[in-house]
Structure 1
Amino acid sequence: MPVDFEFGGVYLPPIAQALLLGLPLFLVLDALLRRSGVLARVWHPALLQGALYAAICAVLVLSMGVSA
C-alpha cells in the first residue's frame, strides 16, 4: 500500500508523488520527441504532450499500488 511522504512539513499523497516523479520523465521524453521530429508531424502537439504526461503518471500510480 502506498504511503504518504512528509516533505518540509507537507504530506504528499501517492498521486502527488506520481505527478512529481512523472515530470522529469515527461521532460526527457518530450525532448526526445522534439529532436526526432515526431511533434512536428502530429495533428495537435499539445494534446500528444498532455496524453503522454497522463500515461506516465498512470503507469507510476499503477506501479506504486502493486504490492508483493
Structure 2
Amino acid sequence: KSLKMNAAFDPYTVTDFSRIMETGIPLLFTLNSMNRSLGEDDPYPFIISKPVEKKLEFIHKLLKGIL
C-alpha cells in the first residue's frame, strides 16, 4: 500500500482535524519505518485508535475555539 501526504501547510492554522490526521499518520509510519531499518525502536510505538482520534479532535477544536 502506498502512503501519500501533502504537508505544505501550517498545522497551527488548520481547523480541519482530519487534515492533520491524514498528514500525521503517514509521517509517523515513515519515521517508525526509518528507525526500524536502522535497528532502532519505534520513536512513536502507539496506534491511534478511533476513540483516541476523537479525543484528540475534541482537544484540537477546544484549543482552536471552534466548539
TM-score relative to the length of structure 1? 0.39
Higher percent of residues as helix:
1
Larger radius of gyration: 1
Structure scoring higher RCO (CA < 8 A, sep ≥ 6) equals 1
Say which structure is richer in strand.
Answer: 1
The two structures have a TM-score, normalised by structure 2, of 0.39
